[in-house]
Structure 1
């Protein structure tokens, strides 16, 4: 099969609409908000770390055969900035499957990425292919949960919609030390604004457990359950919070939001705060990378990408 690969112009609305249609068709969804043109532009064009590596394969008649995108990211390690990419939105039409389109799109994307760090959380179907290509399995994204167990009448006065004031407070905090020599996302003002405030279709809130301990979350409906998804949970270096105080406040939050449980994700080893959640032993996401680095990740980095 003959095909041509071109970089995507995210300012071309017709192309963006075609990509949205391709993704919905490929994943058998209808108007999936994660494939909405507005969401795709937020994700791939407006990212403060830079525009995604974005490629389309076309046949000789100009029809789209496949899509491959690598989301650009920036990590820090001992204050050193490192460029990284995560393969994200990918699709091929039925006619292009098994014809080398996906492999060629991947080859071209990796060539553009050069020596940058590449990482991914593939599903069970694509995992063997990544391992065959030489990617390294360097641990898992693991999960913890706190169920709402009893009615709680403690008032929640410290819940706010995530706004620019929230960003200023988070940037100004000197947070707990998370790791030794692991890569962490550079969480600047621009990043936090993009990730939690400018994002389409998802409304984030912030809950202050104390003056310098907080969680950033949103509500997700799963079947008949309301899930409180915690993306960020952190405190300042000088702060501490006891087990029972923490759980009573989370119970109050769950009661206030009418959620059945709170869930959190973390890479391999939880922080002191994350350890207060009950581990889900059978739920995890494989983490692969084409580098020798290890990472500190939460749902901030992997939840919607």
Structure 2
């Protein structure tokens, strides 16, 4: 029987759930709640598109493109991230993923899209390249250890409140010449509803200028309390100002005593100033990176200049 690529329909939910739960060891009820909150709440429901590969009434694969608006200077793009991609193990090796990726180019939905982007895992990376996507850059991970004593201390959320906010400031950034994710209040509310994580915000202010770090806490190997910097927004692009902001963040983490390491993923080509600060603050590069890929649709501008993208960990849908 032939495999067809069609739009996702509600009858597929149980099969999509089974496929993702078997692949990633999710719990069915939690996955279905996440799935509905992701695609079927007001922020995405009229913007995203979902495709399924089916053989009769059997699901062979799933792929989605969801609204992920970037801006450049004052222009906000109708851009979409590729994500939640998976092929049923019974059907792998038949080129199904490539067909799912290309479905959007045969769909009227494409008429409203400026460009596509994504952060593929290694298993799907080559399929994207074969489908005509471009690997513009790789985000590089850096780590700063804070001291061994922290591994014997548990996380105390009450103490986090001494230094971190749970509501972000809306900051007009000084840097306008690079692609930047357009985080609106509507987007923040939608994303917060999706995640079990608590996102925190460290704010540094000096003479009416402000720098905000978006962070979350992750526990590695049950004892390493990692503070991940997901984004940096600053109203002032001064190297000295950003250096003082990092200094204040590191000091706060050391004061808490239970943060073992600080990590950050950055585009090395986007900011010499940021790299200088990471080196000065003794952040060490890890043998770990994240591919970033793009595919033009209707916008005729240039997407493949690595220095044009200011990206961090929170740009990825799984933040």
TM-score of the superposed pair, with normalisation by structure 2: 0.77
Report how many residues are paired: 288
**1:250 — aligned with what?**
250
- Mapped to 2, the partners of 1:246 and 1:102 lie a distance apart of 42
Instruction: Please give the residue correspondences for 1:210-249 in structure 2 after superposition, counting only pairs within 5 Å.
Output: 210=205, 212-223=210-221, 224-237=223-236, 241=241, 243=243, 246-247=246-247, 249=249
Which of the residues 188, 191, 211 maps onto 2:187? 191
CA RMSD of aligned residues (A): 3.1
Deviations 1:112-158 (A, max 9, x none): 33553122222333323322333222121122222213879xx9775
What SS class does the counterpart of residue 37 from structure 1 fall into? helix
Relative to structure 1, is the Cα distance of residues 271 and 37 closer, same or farther in structure 2, using a 3 angstrom cutoff?
farther
* Alpha-carbon contact 2:143-2:286 (below 8 Å) kept: no
Q: Secondary structure at the match of 1:246?
A: helix
* CA distance in 2 between partners of 1:125 and 1:87 (Å): 14
Deviations 1:55-114 (A, max 9, x none): 122222x12121111122111122122112222111222222233432322221333335
Q: Identify which range, 41-50 or 85-94, moves more after superposition.
A: 41-50
**Residues 1-305 of structure 1 mapped to structure 2, 5 A cutoff:** 1-9=1-9, 12=10, 15-25=12-22, 27-31=23-27, 36-46=31-41, 48=43, 51-60=47-56, 62-112=57-107, 113-114=110-111, 116-149=114-147, 158-163=162-167, 166=168, 170-171=169-170, 173-177=171-175, 180=177, 182-195=178-191, 197-210=192-205, 212-223=210-221, 224-237=223-236, 241=241, 243=243, 246-247=246-247, 249-256=249-256, 258-268=258-268, 269-270=270-271, 272=273, 275-277=276-278, 278-280=283-285, 282-291=287-296, 292-293=302-303, 294-302=308-316, 304=318
Q: How far apart in 2 are the matches of 1:150 and 1:222? A: 14
Q: Distance in 1 between matches of 2:99 and 2:27?
A: 28
Mapped to 2, the partners of 1:287 and 1:146 lie a distance apart of 23
Give me the whole-angstrom Cα distance separating, in 2, the residues matched to 1:206 and 1:236: 15
**Counterparts in 2 of 1:236 and 1:103: CA distance versus 1, 3 Å:** closer
Verify the 8 A CA contact 2:137 2:291 in the aligned structure 1: yes
Residues 205, 32 of structure 1: alpha-carbon distance in 2 compared, 3 angstrom cutoff: farther
CA contact (8 A) 2:20 2:26 kept: no
Report the more deviating stretch, 131-140 or 214-223. Answer: 131-140
Asked if structure 2 preserves the Cα contact closer than 8 Å seen for 1:228 and 1:254, the reply is: no
Distance (whole Å) between structure 1 residues aligned to residue 245 and residue 73 of structure 2: 33
Unaligned runs of 5+ in 2: 151-158, 297-301
**Aligned mates of 1:259, 1:85 — CA distance in 2:** 35
Which consecutive residues of structure 1, in runs of 5 or more, have no partner in the other structure?
Answer: none
Q: Distance in 2 between matches of 1:138 and 1:242?
A: 26
Query: Secondary structure at the residue paired with 1:263?
Result: strand
CA spacing shift, 1:18–1:175, aligned 2, 3 Å: same
Aligned-pair distance for 1:201? 0.9
